[in-house]
Amino acid sequence: MSASVDAHTEAVAAAGALLATARDVTLLAHVQPDADSLGSALALGIALHRRGARVRVSFAEPDRMPESLRPLDVLGLVVPADDVPTVPEVLVACDTASVGRLGRLADRLDTAAATLLIDHHASNPGFGTVQLVDASVEATVVLVHRVLVEMGVPVDEAIARCLYAGLVTDTVGFRTAGPAAHRLAATLVEAGVEVEPLVRPIMDTHPFAWLAALADVLHGAALEPGAAGGLGLVHAVIPAALVERFRPEEVDSVIDEIRSAAEAEVAAVLKQVGPLRWSVSLRAKGGCDVAVAATMLGGGGHRNAAGFTRNGTAAEVLEALRAALTPDRVAGPRTNSAHDH
Ligand SMILES: [Mn+2]
């Protein structure tokens, strides 16, 4: 066994020991929570609630649970950020690549009596008293499952649904999943997960009005074959009017359409979140590392999926992105962590 495997085994044991004795646990997802982050927090939350602990799950923003993920919260564990205790007994940060991803709840890391970080982002600097960070797994829910096994928790259907939701989304429908993740998926289906009704609302459902809006956004997309050191960049802009009109489930799905352009290694979607403020999603296909560019621009992420937020006009943000995607910055050795989110 390598040293890192030993370290992760120790961290799983430490995480299990901390949670096994915890009486009151606050589980946090990152801002704009996705299925991996909320699925991780809810899977642990359901398990701990069933062991008799007082449990709450929250995130700093937005102020509502993403509609498509609401069915995962079968026990009603999600509370508004304002209801998170000022001094939590045990705080668990799930799928949180940096302190900043906790938003205005980040200060609870300093006040909590004990903190546990569970994450799979290679760029994570590490924080918290117990740190379970393993960039070799496809999703944070994989690490949560290890902790549940360590604690001897039976993975019932409700927990399995949370874990499956994180696994299927972070692996883009298992396309980046390795053998162990496929085996975990089989275990979760055996525990009772009905895949189609679980996944369709999360990955594959939009209001009819979105189709026309999406057509407009795609019509405005542009291809720059010479960008990213000649690997090609395709990008699209989502104006504030559409960001405000539609759910994150619609807005955040645009990148999956844009990245299908064969002529571009890198895809970018600029989402207008203020008059002169943009939240930018980046995707790559393995030929370059968009986490490097995103980190340079104040964000972060994985090699093939990253993002950042930046002020300026759309043209200015695109210019900054082009500059960050120069070949010497985006090349670099491939890692074994070919996953998204
Ligand atoms: Mn994740």
Q: What is the pLDDT of residues 220-255, one digit of tens each?
A: 999 999 999 999 999 999 999 999 999 999 999 999
Q: What is the pLDDT of residues 175-215, one digit of tens each?
A: 999 999 999 999 999 999 999 999 999 999 999 999 999 99
CA distance 45 to 49: 6
> Which CATH number, 3.40.718.10, 3.90.1640.10, 3.40.50.720, 3.40.50.2000, labels domain 3-203?
3.90.1640.10
Span from the CA of 28 to the centroid of ligand 1 (angstroms): 13
Span from the CA of 49 to the centroid of ligand 1 (angstroms): 23
Band (pLDDT 50/70/90 cuts) for residue 98 is very high
Amino acid at 127: F
Q: Does domain 208-330 have CATH number 3.30.460.80?
A: no
Band (pLDDT 50/70/90 cuts) for residue 339 is very low
Span from the CA of 212 to the centroid of ligand 1 (angstroms): 30
* C-beta separation of 231 from 287 below 8 A: yes
CA distance 199 to 340: 17
Q: Quick check: 300 pLDDT over 50?
A: yes
Span from the CA of 66 to the centroid of ligand 1 (angstroms): 16
- Dihedral sign, Cα of residue 309, residue 310, residue 311, residue 317: negative
Amino acid at 299: G
Amino acid at 9: T
DSSP per-residue codes, 209-271: HHHHHHHHHHHT-EEETTTTTTT-EEEEEE-HHHHHHS-HHHHTTHHHHHTT-TT-SEEEEEE
Neighbours of 285 (CB within 10 A): 15
Percent of the chain with pLDDT strictly greater than 70: 94
CA distance 201 to 199: 6
Domain ranges of the chain: 3-203, 208-330
Band (pLDDT 50/70/90 cuts) for residue 310 is very high
Average of per-residue pLDDT values in the chain: 94
Span from the CA of 170 to the centroid of ligand 1 (angstroms): 6
Q: Quick check: 337 pLDDT over 60?
A: no
CA distance 284 to 277: 23
What values do phi and psi take at 309, rounded to 5? Answer: -125, 135
